[in-house]
Homo-oligomer: A and B are copies of this chain.
Amino acid sequence: MTKQKLDCVFQPKTVAIAGVSTKQTTVPSLSQRYLRAVREYGFKGRVYPLNPKGGEIWGLKIYPNIKDIPEPVDYVISCIPASATPQLIKECAVKGVKVIHFYTSGFSEAGTDEGRRLENEIYSLARQNGMRIIGPNCMGVYSPKANFSFVSDFPKESGSVALICQSGGNTNYIVREGANRGVRFSKVISYGNAVDINESDLLEYLTFDADTEIITAYIEGVKNGKRFSQALREAAKVKPVIVLKSGITESGAKVAASHVSALAGSNEIWDGFLRQVGAIRANSLDELIDMAMTFSYLPLLAGRRVSILGTGGGVTVLAADDCINAGLTVPRFSEGIYNKLKNLLKTEAGVILNNPVDLATGVYQTGIYDVLNTLINCGEFDLHMLHFALGLIGFSPSLRNRIWDSIVEDAIRVHKESAKPVVVVIHSLASNSDYEWMLEAQRKCCEAGIPVYHSMSSAAKAIDRFLRYHELRLTRAQD
Contacts and interface: CB of A to CB of B under 8 A. Distances in A.
A349 B246 contact: no
A457 B284 contact: yes
B27 A392 contact: no
A35 to B, nearest CB: 13
Contact of A33 (B169, B395, B455): B395
A71 to B, nearest CB: 29
Interface residues of A, number: 91
B428 A318 contact: no
A152 B247 CA distance: 47
B168 A314 contact: yes
A439 B286 CA distance: 20
Given A325-B249, A349-B82, A170 B315 contact: yes
Interface in A402-438: 403, 428-432, 435-436
A38 interface: no
Interface in A2-55: 26-28, 33, 37
B169 A315 contact: yes
B430 A318 contact: no
Contact of A314 (B33, B180, B254, B259): B259
A457 B248 CA distance: 14
B254 A354 contact: yes
Contact of A317 (B82, B106, B177, B252): B252
A173 B392 contact: yes
Residue among A311, A320, A365 with the most chain B CB within 10 A?
A320
A399 to B, nearest CB: 7
Contacts of A439: 431-432
Given A324-B250, A332-B254, A220 B172 contact: no
Contacts of A349: 82, 105-107, 109-110, 115
Contacts of A28: 395
Contacts of A457: 284
B391 A27 contact: no
A251 interface: yes
A393 interface: yes
A323 B126 CA distance: 40
A26 B401 CA distance: 13
A364 to B, nearest CB: 5
B106 A220 contact: no
A99 B173 CA distance: 53
A296 to B, nearest CB: 18
Given A169-B392, A330-B251, A428-B285, A350 B317 contact: no
Q: Would you list the 10 A-B pairs with minimal beta carbon distance, nearest first?
A: A167-B314, A105-B350, A106-B349, A169-B312, A170-B314, A249-B324, A169-B392, A252-B321, A252-B320, A176-B430
